[in-house]
Amino acid sequence: MKPNQFIYNGKKLLDKKLLGYAKAVNMDFSEKDIAKNNITPSQLFELSDKLDKKLIDMIYINIPEMDLIDVSQSYSDYDIATLVVNNPNILRTPIVYLEDEPFIADDIMDINKIGELAQ
């Protein structure tokens, strides 16, 4: 993946709001809507590495899409990546993938951080 990407899920209202804000403050980025264009396992592993997070920490556990998953089981990173590819709603988004400071902006308060980075 190339830096300066705003990775979001176009089916999520918060993602669309934060995308609109990032555009409004003239943040320089390209967009990747994972609801329309699947994210690949290798892209997930790269993001995981850049964010310094385990894949399991990049997904929502307590959402309806995860009801079919037995969270008491142990899953490999590849299993988790496959889950995300097949169910993009479980990935914590949006992800602001900047060269120096990538982060998951899954809280409306992250709007301040986006504003700071745009300056």
Three-state SS at 96: strand
pLDDT of residue 33: 97
Burial of 89 (0-12, 13-18, 19+ CB in 10 A): middle
Average pLDDT for residues 83-105, to the nearest whole number? Answer: 86
pLDDT of residue 105: 87
User: pLDDT tens across 1-20, in order?
Assistant: 677 899 999 999 989 988 98
For residue 26, the tally of other CB atoms under 10 A from its CB is 8
Split into its structural domains, the chain has a count of 1
Q: What's the CATH code of the domain at 53?
A: 3.40.30.10
Look at residue 41 and tell me if it is in a domain.
yes
- Residue 89 CA to residue 39 CA, distance in Å, equals 11
Look at residue 48 and tell me if it is in a domain.
yes
pLDDT of residue 59: 84
- Residue 88 CA to residue 66 CA, distance in Å, equals 11
Look at residue 52 and tell me if it is in a domain.
yes
Average pLDDT for residues 61-73, to the nearest whole number? Answer: 60
Look at residue 106 and tell me if it is in a domain.
no
- Please give the residue range of the domain that contains residue 49: 5-101+113-118
